[in-house]
Every structure is written in C-alpha cells, then in structure tokens.
Amino acid sequence: LQLEEVKIPLFYGWFLMSPANEKVKCSAIDFVKTLDTLEAFKKHSADFTGKAEKEVDLEQHFKAKASLHCTTKFSNYGKAEGAKEYAQNLVVKDHFGSVSELSLIAFFVTPRTVGARVSLTKEQLQLWPVDAESSVPGATGLPHGSRAHVTLACAAGVEAVQTGLDLLDILALQKDGQQGELVEMELGSLSYYGEGRWMLALREPICASACFSSSYK
Ligand code: A2P
C-alpha cells in the first residue's frame, strides 16, 4: 500500500462504546420526555411550534441518533481546512484507537438539536483542533474545547453540525451573564435562554467510555 493511497476520513472523534452508548441514549430520552411535561417548557412551546398554545411532542419533533460520538475534527475526506495537518499530527496518531472516559456535564435542547456537552480532560484537549471555536462567529472568546459535544438528535432537515453551533450559542449567552429562568430537576438545574434554548447542568456528570477513531461513512 502506497502512503498516497491512504485516505483522510470524513471525521475523527471519540465513539461511545457499548454499554455507554445505550446508557447515554436512555438518559437523553428520559430528559427529553421529562422536559416535555414541565409547565416551564409548555409555557414556551411556541418556540418549537411557532404557534401559541400549541404543544410540542419532542419525541416526534426529533430523530434520535443511533451511534453516538463526539467529533474532534471534521476532515471531509481531506477537503476541510487543516485536515491534512490533523491527520499527520503525532498526538492524533499516538491516540488513535485509544479508549478514554468522556464526561458529559449537561444536556441541551433547541428547536433544531439535542446534545450533551462534554468536558474534556487535558489529555483529550490535545486532540481538539485549535480553531474549533474561533472559526465560529460569536464564539471567539470561549475556552478551547467549549464546542465538545455529542449529538443526540436532530429535528427534520437539520444537519448534525448544528448541534455544536447551538451549544456555542448557549455558552455565549451564559458568558454574557444571561442566567435564564431556572427550574430545579432531579438530574440538575435547567435553564431557559429564550428562543427554545434549554440547558440542563447535570448534578452528576455521566461517564461514558469512548474510543478515539475515525469514520469514513
Ligand atoms: P456533530 O459532531 O455535531 O455531531 P454528517 O453526519 O453531517 O456527515 O457529519 C458527520 C459528523 O461530523 C457529525 O457528527 C457532525 O456533527 C460532524 N460535522 C459535520 N459537519 C461539520 C462541520 N462543518 N464542522 C464540524 N463538525 C461537523
């Protein structure tokens, strides 16, 4: 095999292993179901439906992802900026195939996406592209690794890339000091940031074993 023949993948990331994949999916479904029953959420259901008084069935609204991962680098088979550099990075090569624990610290929901925020360790941050946040307008001041997330579900017609953008949007609001309405839940505290944006900061982070690898689709 010639080195030239080695193709750059669609994306790199941590792929949740079994049973963590199922555990996270179940927790997410539980959260979304509970959110749907809250008076605080129903009060703002027009954010999702566009109509006052009309309730939203979140389970119908979203299509859940089957196999979960936290994307590090979207390489687009080498077409994305910095794809080649990332593929050749020694830290990336050294960690390829390694298993580590992802710490999920929050769930968030917007009319477009459902995701889990991931808190990366120092070692995991070495695999995080330098421009993951700075390439997004409005997210420039946020710390390296802020965008780390697992896409759990998307609304019809919404691409997965939206989940990280929705997360950065909420984090930028938090940084501006917007606290939002607070609802205490068993899992943690839930905040509303307007325009259908909700975030549940988990009391206990969810730990998920994941393998650093890549996908060609
Ligand atoms: P995410 O990491 O938010 O889930 P797709 O399924 O659309 O082909 O994308 C494959 C994976 O790469 C998804 O997990 C997706 O989003 C991520 N992704 C797609 N496009 C981008 C992009 N432009 N920047 C960063 N991540 C992307």
Rounded Cα gap, residues 173 and 75, in angstroms: 29
What are the tens digits of pLDDT across the range 125-179? 999 999 999 999 999 899 999 999 999 999 999 999 999 999 999 999 999 888 7
Q: Is the pLDDT of residue 2 over 80?
A: no
Q: Which two tokens stand for residue 192?
A: 């509303």
Q: DSSP of the chain, one letter per residue?
A: --GGGPPP-SEEEEEEPTTHHHHHHHHHHHHHHHHHH-HHHHTTTHHHHSSTT----HHHHEEE-SS-EEEEEE-GGGTSTTHHHHHH-HHHHHHTT-EEEEEEEEEEE-SSEEEEEEE--HHHHTTS-TTTTTTSTT-TTSPTTTT-EEEEEEETT--THHHHHHHHHHHHHHHTT---EEEEETTEEEEE-STT-EEEEEEEEEEEEEEEEEE--
What are the tens digits of pLDDT across the range 92-121? 999 999 999 999 999 999 999 999 999 999
Structure pTM? 0.96
What are the tens digits of pLDDT across the range 175-211? 988 877 789 999 999 999 999 999 999 999 999 999 9
Residue found by looking up tokens 């610290």 in the block:
105
Rounded Cα gap, residues 195 and 83, in angstroms: 34
Rounded Cα gap, residues 140 and 207, in angstroms: 28
In this prediction, residue 51 carries a pLDDT of 87
Concerning whether 95 is annotated as a catalytic residue, the answer is no
What are the tens digits of pLDDT across the range 62-96? 999 999 999 999 999 999 999 999 999 999 999 99
Torsion angles phi and psi, residue 54, rounded to 5: -80, 125
Cross-strand pairs, 209:
101
**Would you say the CB of residue 11 lies under 6 angstroms from ligand 1?**
yes
**Would you say the CB of residue 151 lies under 6 angstroms from ligand 1?**
yes
**Would you say the CB of residue 48 lies under 6 angstroms from ligand 1?**
no
Concerning whether 149 is annotated as a catalytic residue, the answer is yes
**Would you say the CB of residue 75 lies under 6 angstroms from ligand 1?**
no
Rounded Cα gap, residues 172 and 140, in angstroms: 9
Ligand 1 atom closest to Cα of 162? 3
Rounded Cα gap, residues 133 and 144, in angstroms: 7
In this prediction, residue 179 carries a pLDDT of 77
Asked if the ipTM is above 0.95, the reply is: yes
**Would you say the CB of residue 74 lies under 6 angstroms from ligand 1?**
yes
What's the gap in Å between 15 CA and the centre of ligand 1? 13
- Of 61, 69, 95, 144, which residue is the catalytic one? 69
What's the gap in Å between 71 CA and the centre of ligand 1? 7
